[in-house]
Structure 1
Amino acid sequence: MARRGKTPKGRPVSGWVILDKPVGMGSTDAVAKMKWLFFAQKAGHAGTLDPLASGMLPIALGDATKTVPFVMDGTKTYRFTVRWGAETTTDDTEGPVTNASDLRPTREALEALLTRYRGEISQVPPQFSAIKIEGERAYDLARAGETVEIAARPVTIHRLDIVAEPDAATTVFEAECGKGTYVRSIARDLGRDLGCFGHVVDLRRVQVGGFTEDDLVTLDELMDAADEGLEELSEEQQASGARARVVRFEALDRLLLGTEAALSDLYEVPLSEDQAGRVLSGNPVLLRGRDAPAFCEEAYATGHGRLVAIGSIEQGSFHPKRVFGGRG
């Protein structure tokens, strides 16, 4: 007799929580919190955000975890504040000062230097980063007192602008950059090039891929929505110290974005009911209409307002590569 597979614990809910992560919360902890709140079977994030940073942490639930790579590969926008006059071991406020200077950069010197930090540049990640060195995380080696050599690597900075100068020792920047860029490294290298040293004192991510600040949901909003769905406890249960569980998820689910929200940069193929059935069975379908492309490396198909599949368009037909059976 064939063994039955283990039934996943939780609801088969799918979608994106665009969490406005507070300072102090780790990305892994945030994912665990969302999985618990939504009682989701699966959860994962699209790009780590340091505990000292705030802002956008896209968290995928259920089938949305299959679309995480599309978000990870998208551009990210950060707003960050640099304090001049000191460099630290961590390139932020957590580590001790390693270099100091009384010099402060002028606006003109900064503007002239920023041109060298736009486009594709070579960047050395911070010592305290998640980069793997011979199988171990750089931050684990750094915490153990080891000085590790991290190789420079190419990263792309699409935009780097000054947005405010609160005082002579502080500059606020906004950077739009590609995958793998470290804002702390930008602050460190700017400070070294200017001869005044610098480190990040505040960091907020405001955009990831196609997600914008309008999509952000705070932890307080999520907790309030969870409270709306709490079970009612009897006096006996309350007296025994029992904790109410979330049993109605309508308010929470309204805060989710659809799974297809991660695919805004791809071509959308709307399907009829018959076509959706064929695609869900793994079969290609012929696209009709003069505006339909003949070829497209990546596209997604929708039917009745939900995501059906991700695939490619070849010779005027959509070929599914990944099918979505849950709620999109």
Structure 2
Amino acid sequence: MARRRRGRPVHGWVNLDKPAGIGSTRAVSIVRRAFDAQKAGHAGTLDPLASGVLPVALGEATKTVSFVMDGRKSYRFTVRWGEARDTDDSEGAVVATSGRRPTEAEIERALPAFVGEIAQAPPAFSAVRVDGERAYRLARAGTPVAPAARPVVIDRLALVETVDAERAVFEMDCRKGAYVRSLARDLAVALGTVGHVSALRRTRNGPFRDCDAIPLEKLPEPRHMGAQDGGAPGVSAVGDVSAIECAALLQPVAKALDDIPALDVTESEAARIRNGQPVPVLRTGNRRRIDGLPDNAALCALLNGEAIALMRLSGRSAQPVRVFNL
């Protein structure tokens, strides 16, 4: 007999404002318990040092995580000049020092070289694989690690302010795979010094932004809410937040698909999709939306405005690849 999964079938996104000082895995665990959700995952790790947007997927939203991870990301971070650390952030050990401090004008002149597609080596303490092993595991074991440089895309890099001679604050927009810690390290070297990230905040991850992110303190440990509390048995409440208000903290599964063309389907087509069958895409209402899309392009099937599946375009039809059981 299959073991019953703990928790409730909760579906949607929590745009969490992760505080510095805890890891992404722990933050996801707190959110999952707060919503008493059966299943949870996140759309892109934030280091313990970092704060900001950590989109947490619950239930069927986990099927859309890759679309958020592939989206653009924005960061605000502080570089401290004069100290290189083995982790490229303030949590590591000092491995080199320099007395040189770049001027504001020098920093501004150096930035254009780091915009566009650039070659960037991930930090030694990162999750990339080196010879089949996670780099951070090798580094923690004392094995010298030098991850190979790879192409990444930086869409924007701007100097916000020079706090003092020791620190400068930047903003960066980038694509998947770029590391703020690597950029800070390489920028310092280009300026004739060394440096590391001393503060880091993610302000955007795909369609999720920090302006409407939920602080962790809004999601305390849940209390079980039975009929005696004015709710239905088996419904959880978050601290002093009612079950209805708790649901209001969730964003829809389709939030992750904001940038994907929509495919409106009929009731009969929806039934076919739920059975794993393709549907035609050239009906009048959809033709304009798919014109010019290449084969294998992603589509979001909508029934009466609600997302029911992720689809892939194939000629004149669309094939379901992820059906949402909502």
TM above 0.5: yes
One-letter code of the match for 1:123? Q
1:101-145 Cα shifts (integer Å, max 9, x gaps) = 222111221111111111111111112112222333222222222
User: Deviation of residue 95 (structure 1)?
Assistant: 1.7
One-letter code of the match for 1:304? N
Alpha-carbon distance between aligned partners in 1 of 2:92 and 2:290, rounded to the nearest angstrom: 53
Change (3 A) 1:142 1:314: closer
User: Deviation of residue 21 (structure 1)?
Assistant: 0.3
Asked if the contact 1:295/1:316 (under 8 Å) is kept, the reply is: no
1:308 aligns with 2:308: yes
Q: How does 1:166-205 map to 2 (within 5 A)?
A: 166-205=163-202
Alpha-carbon distance between aligned partners in 2 of 1:195 and 1:282, rounded to the nearest angstrom: 58
User: Deviation of residue 189 (structure 1)?
Assistant: 1.0
TM-score calculated relative to the size of structure 1 = 0.88
Q: How does 1:118-197 map to 2 (within 5 A)?
A: 118-197=115-194
Alpha-carbon distance between aligned partners in 2 of 1:294 and 1:116, rounded to the nearest angstrom: 37
1:181-233 Cα shifts (integer Å, max 9, x gaps) = 11111111111121121111100001011212233111122239x56x75598
User: Deviation of residue 271 (structure 1)?
Assistant: 2.7
User: Deviation of residue 294 (structure 1)?
Assistant: 5.1
Equivalent position of 2:323 in the other structure: 323
Asked if the contact 2:72/2:174 (under 8 Å) is kept, the reply is: yes
Asked if the contact 2:121/2:149 (under 8 Å) is kept, the reply is: yes
Alpha-carbon distance between aligned partners in 2 of 1:233 and 1:133, rounded to the nearest angstrom: 55
Instruction: Tell me the number of residue pairs that the alignment of Structure 1 and Structure 2 aligns.
Output: 312
User: Deviation of residue 100 (structure 1)?
Assistant: 1.6
Measured on the aligned residues, the alpha-carbon RMSD in Å equals 2.4
Asked if the contact 1:35/1:42 (under 8 Å) is kept, the reply is: yes
Equivalent position of 1:16 in the other structure: 13
Alpha-carbon distance between aligned partners in 1 of 2:145 and 2:96, rounded to the nearest angstrom: 18
Equivalent position of 1:280 in the other structure: 274
In the alignment, structure 2 segments of 5+ residues that lack a partner are 230-235
User: Deviation of residue 285 (structure 1)?
Assistant: 3.2
In the alignment, structure 1 segments of 5+ residues that lack a partner are 235-244
Asked if the contact 1:294/1:315 (under 8 Å) is kept, the reply is: no
One-letter code of the match for 1:250? I
Change (3 A) 1:113 1:295: closer
Asked if the contact 1:131/1:138 (under 8 Å) is kept, the reply is: yes
Alpha-carbon distance between aligned partners in 2 of 1:324 and 1:231, rounded to the nearest angstrom: 28
